[in-house]
Structure formats: structure tokens, C-alpha cells
Amino acid sequence: MGIGILTGIIAGSYPAVFLSRFNTVKVLKGDVSANKNGGKLRTVLVTFQFIISIFLIITTIVIFTEISYVRDRPIGYDQENLIDIAATGELAGHYNIFKQELAAIPEVKNKSAGSENLLQFGGAVTGMDWPGKVPGQELSVIVTHVQYDWTKTAGLKMIEGRDFSPEFGTDSSACLINETAVQKMGLKSPVVGAVVGGNRVIGVVQNFVFNNPSDVIAPMAVYLQANNLSHVFIRIVNNNHWRQTLSRIEKIAKKLNPGYPFEYSFTQEGYQQRFKEFSSIGMLAAFFGGIAIFISCLGLFGLAAYVAEKRSKEMSIRKVLGAGIQQIWLALSRDFLKPVIVAFLIVVPLSLWSMHTFLAIIPYRVNLSWWMFALAGFIVLTIALLTVSYQGIRTAVEKPVTNLHKD
């Protein structure tokens, strides 16, 4: 409300002061000359409006390009038809029974469990030792615990070594690490057999995206845990009977855990939800960009009407001397579009700096390209041209005698 009142006062002050300075006698006689400064102010205001419009359009283009870039980022595992079931209540303790009963469902391909879902990991630790560690060197490593077949169920790829297996009793004191951990620790090949944090490495997992989809992938260490894990992962067959499969899974879960609701989510849908915040920012920028363009076009339309009226006699004389409609339209439109071109030249370096600053805080980011700015300029120029064409064509088709007889 305060901004609205202040804007109204400022907007109303100029015409009030301007009109109060008119000489009453000259006004009544119709002898009022045009104020050159007023024309300059109109042009400056329209230019400023288009600076804001072009900036918001460039911002929208960059944000949606970044969203698309991050969304298309290789995830590192297979999210399709992967279900994450919350192991609440007694379900975690009955995991082995749950797993055995799931084996009776043909549409269940794989099953495992973990302390965190595949989208969000926490519990980073420091103080680990590894071969070749420099005294005083510290590394924050994400720690998670899983059941057998975790990598197989999630669709993770093993770069080196193997996954946990019940065939090896020593796996309870072993671990898996990801590629980032190998890189940050500076481990030399072969990595399998190295002791990290007191546990022998039996395999290296390919990096996969977790936590922030646009962030760098943190080092991770994975340990085997027999029970009491809070997430059960189930991969089902990709067919049209997934609802029936899910219903059968739910019945088994409720039988083992009757006091708690059956809570599940598809990993792929959960991953897509993470782009909502980015998309909201983009939609907000697009919305205000559209409003700014509309307001700018109103200002440009008013400026075009003013200039067309001022130059109506000039255009009529040109028409009498043989100028065609296209030439007159071009002569007027060229002047109308000057504020748009000036605004574009001003806003490009400003938006380049601001977008570079914005993207600098995003590790996995798109590179700024010339086409983003060119597209914004093309959009605004096209809209502006359509806006001024009405006045340009209207002036061009008017009869010269009408304008030449005006006082």
C-alpha cells in the first residue's frame, strides 16, 4: 500500500506541476508550445521500462535453461519403477520376512534397504584414515548403511570390485566408496583392498546424484547393516499392472506392520519435486516479465501516438511527394524502436554480470551463451514492433489533406 501511494504521488506530481506552470491567457488562446523536455522524459521512462522488461526476460531464459540443464543431468542410477517404502514401526525389524514374502510376487524384480533414501543423505563424518593421507588433512564423508543388493536394486554401477554379498562373512567390516571419495583421497588403483576408516574397501560405486541436484557429488562411504534400516527399496516390473503389484506389497507390509500406515513414494517423482523451487522462481520471473512487457508496451504505444501526431504533417508531405505506406511506416517505426534498442544495449552488460553472479553459486550450471540475450532482444523487439505498427500504419494510410488542414 505504501509503494502504491508513493507511486501515485510521484506519478501525479509531474503533470500537476507541469500544468500549473501554463499561462492561462495563452492556454485559452490555444497558444501553447510543446515542451521539448517532456518528450525527452517520455523517451527516458519508456527506455527504463524496457530495461526492466529485457532484464526479466533474460533472467527467465537463463533460469529455465538451468532447470533443463540440471534435469537432464546424468543421475547415475535407474529411477524408473523404483519404490521407496518408509520402514516405520515394526517393518524395519521384520525386513527379512518382508523380503521373503516379496519374493512370491513375480512383478518384484529386486529389493533392498537403506538408512537413507536415494535422494537425501546426511550424517557426514570426518577423521577417517586412508592410505597416503597427509597429516592434518581432513575430508567430510557422507556415511550410509544398506542391506544386500542395494546397488543392484537402485541400478548403481560398480566401477571396481563388488557389492556386499552374504557369501562373504567379512563384509560386515568392509565398505563401498564412490568415485568422489577415491578422487578426494587420492587413492591409487587398485582401490579394492585399501583400508578406509578402519574398513576394507571391497568396491567402488559410480557417482550418482543426491541431495541438491545442481550440487557437486560429495564423497560417500557405504556400510553393511543387517536390520533396523528406515527405507525399503523395491524395483517392480514396468507394465500396466503396477497398481495391483503395489496393492499386494501394501497388504504384506500392513500384515507385518498393522499399527502404521503404508507410506511409499516413487523415487523418480521425488526427484522431480526438487525442481519445483527452481521452476517457481522461473515462473515468477516470467510472470513479472510479462507484466513489465505489457506496461512497457503501453508506454511505447503512448509515445508512438504522441510522435505520430507531432509528425503527421511531415508524413503527409512525404506521402504527397511520393512516399509509399511502407516507407512512412518504416520512418516512424525506426524512431519508435530507438528506446528499445538503447534499453537492450544498456541491459546486456548488466544482465551478463548479474546472471554470471547468480550462476556462480550453482556448482552444476549452464554456461551463458549469446543466444539467451539475442532471444530476449528478439522477443522484445518483435513485441515492440507490433505495438508501434498500429500507429505507423494508421499515420501512413491517413489522407494527406486531413493532416495538412490541422491547426
pLDDT at 56: 86
What nine digits make up the cell of 81? 519403477
Residue 293, domain extent: 36-72+275-404
Q: Is residue 202 part of a domain?
A: yes
Whether 65 and 189 map to the same domain: the answer is no
Calpha distance 396→348 (Å, rounded) = 34
Which percentage of the chain shows pLDDT scores above 90?
Answer: 46
Whether 62 and 87 map to the same domain: the answer is no
pTM of the entire predicted model: 0.77
List Cβ neighbours of 91 (8 Å cut-off, separation of 6 or more): 85, 98, 232, 253, 256, 257, 260
Q: Is residue 365 part of a domain?
A: yes
Query: Which of 273, 290, 320 delimits the end of a domain?
Result: 273
pLDDT at 296: 79
Whether 65 and 153 map to the same domain: the answer is no
Whether 321 and 234 map to the same domain: the answer is no
Q: Please say whether the beta carbons of 253 and 121 come within 8 A.
A: no
pLDDT at 110: 94
Whether 219 and 327 map to the same domain: the answer is no
What nine digits make up the cell of 308? 505520430
Query: Which of 240, 273, 306 delimits the end of a domain?
Result: 273
pLDDT < 70 positions in the chain: 14, 18-19, 21-39, 307-326, 328-329, 331-332, 390-407
Whether 263 and 313 map to the same domain: the answer is no
Query: Which of 227, 242, 273 delimits the end of a domain?
Result: 273
Question: Burial code of 217-243, b = ≥16 C-beta within 10 A, e = fewer?
Answer: bbbbbbbbbeeebbbbbbbbeeeeeee
What nine digits make up the cell of 404? 495538412
Whether 99 and 219 map to the same domain: the answer is yes
Calpha distance 200→10 (Å, rounded) = 73
Whether 245 and 100 map to the same domain: the answer is yes
Number of folded domains that form the chain:
2
pLDDT at 156: 95
Q: Is residue 315 part of a domain?
A: yes
Q: Is residue 309 part of a domain?
A: yes
Q: Is residue 28 part of a domain?
A: no
pLDDT at 267: 94
